[in-house]
Each structure stands twice: as C-alpha cells, then as structure tokens.
Chains A and B, each alone.
Chain A
Amino acid sequence: AIQLTQSPSSLSASVGDRVTITCRASQDVSGALAWYQQKPGKAPKLLIYDASSLESGVPSRFSGSGSGTDFTLTISSLQPEDFATYYCQQFNSYLTFGQGTKLEIK
C-alpha cells in the first residue's frame, strides 16, 4: 500500500505568513493527489485536486504543486479562517491519506 508522509505534523504561524506543507509518497502516484482542509467537528473540505488544480470556490491563496512522490500545499498569506488541519490523499492506487498537519496560530 502507498504511504503518505506529511511534514511538519504541526505548525505555528501568524496571519499573513506564507506556509508550505509537504507530502511525500512511498511510491510514484503521478499527479493523483488531493489536499483537504478539516476544521474541528466538520467533514474534510477539498482544496486541491490532481496535485495542482484549485477546487471551485477555494481562495487563490491556496496552491498545490508536485508530481511523482513529492508534493506541496502552499498558503500564500494566512488568514484567520485557515487555521485547521490539512491532509493529503493519493488516489493512484486505492486511497491513502497522510497523517495530517495541524496549523495553529502563533
């Protein structure tokens, strides 16, 4: 099974900061990667699909890049509503999620 490793596991940042979260796959997943945002008590929300395509309605400060085994999610200028947990997910072979990155206010 393909494993996804996110780093960091947690991150403290301030409003206005630029933040990057990485996701590394244990084998090549091509571009079959998505990113989700989850807030406490809520279902995950799709942000990015196919590694770099922005989901409709998601602010343009979110962007994704990468292919093969290394991927990144970047938030260009953190807003108060962005403090949440972020998950990557591969769909090249079954489905696997990363362990999550908790983004907290500094």
Chain B
Amino acid sequence: QVQLVQSGAEVKKPGASMKISCKASGYNFLNYYMHWVRQVPGQGLEWMGIINPSGGGTTYAQKFQGRVTLTRDTSTSTVYMELNSLRSEDTAVYYCGRIRRGKWSYIGYWGQGTLVTVSS
C-alpha cells in the first residue's frame, strides 16, 4: 500500500533553514508527482510546490519562490522540502502529498505531517 512517511518535528530559530523529508513506499516512486502543502495552526491548507520525482523538475507557488527548494533522491524514494529564511509565520504543519494522476491533480495520499516551530 502507498505510504508516505515524513521526518519528525523540528524547532528552528528565525532566519534559519529547515529541510523535511518524505519517504515513499508501496508504488513506483518515479511515476507520480509529489506536492507539498502547509497548514498554519488553526488555518487552512496552502500549496507550496510540486516535484517530478522522475526528472526532478519543480514548480513553486509564487509566495514561496526563492525561499523553497524541492529535491528528490531516487535511490531512497525520498523527496525533500527545504525552506530558507524562516520567520515565525512559517510555524506550520508541512505535508507531502502524492497525486493520483498526471501533474496537476488531486492528492490521493498524504504524509502524516511534520510540525515545524519557528521561535527565538
């Protein structure tokens, strides 16, 4: 069965960087795009970007352009999300999510989420 297992919670200081992992299993990693979505506590879902695990191509939401980088390691079926220049407003739960088909699609499978707290 499809599983997405994310790395554990982190606490970061303002100005620092974070890098979260999302390890996929139960399917051919190369065949499905992966999205990253975040949720600030008490708020809604916000799309951050997408990566093609096959070629590594990425598209980012305009809000995060220049601050976010998505990468992947095909040898371990893992995608990574790095966010730089952290500020308190980046305190959120970050989710990876695998689409069901194509590139722009609904998210059929979600990771468990990673809470990142940005605080001095």
Asked if B111 and A94 sit within 8 Å, CB to CB, the answer is no
Chain A residue contacts of B37, Cβ below 8 A? 95, 97
Asked if B47 and A95 sit within 8 Å, CB to CB, the answer is yes
Interface size on B, residues (CB 8 A): 22
Main DSSP-derived SS at the A contact region: loop
What mask results when residues 32 to 45 of chain B are scored 1 for a CB within 8 Å of chain A, else 0? 00010100000011
Stretch of A11-19, A41-49, A72-80 at the chain-chain interface:
A41-49
Interface size on A, residues (CB 8 A): 24
Asked if A87 and B104 sit within 8 Å, CB to CB, the answer is no
Asked if A93 and B106 sit within 8 Å, CB to CB, the answer is no
What mask results when residues 10 to 44 of chain B are scored 1 for a CB within 8 Å of chain A, else 0? 00000000000000000000000001010000001
Binding site for B on A (CB under 8 A): 1, 32, 34, 36, 38, 43-46, 49-50, 55, 87, 89, 91-100
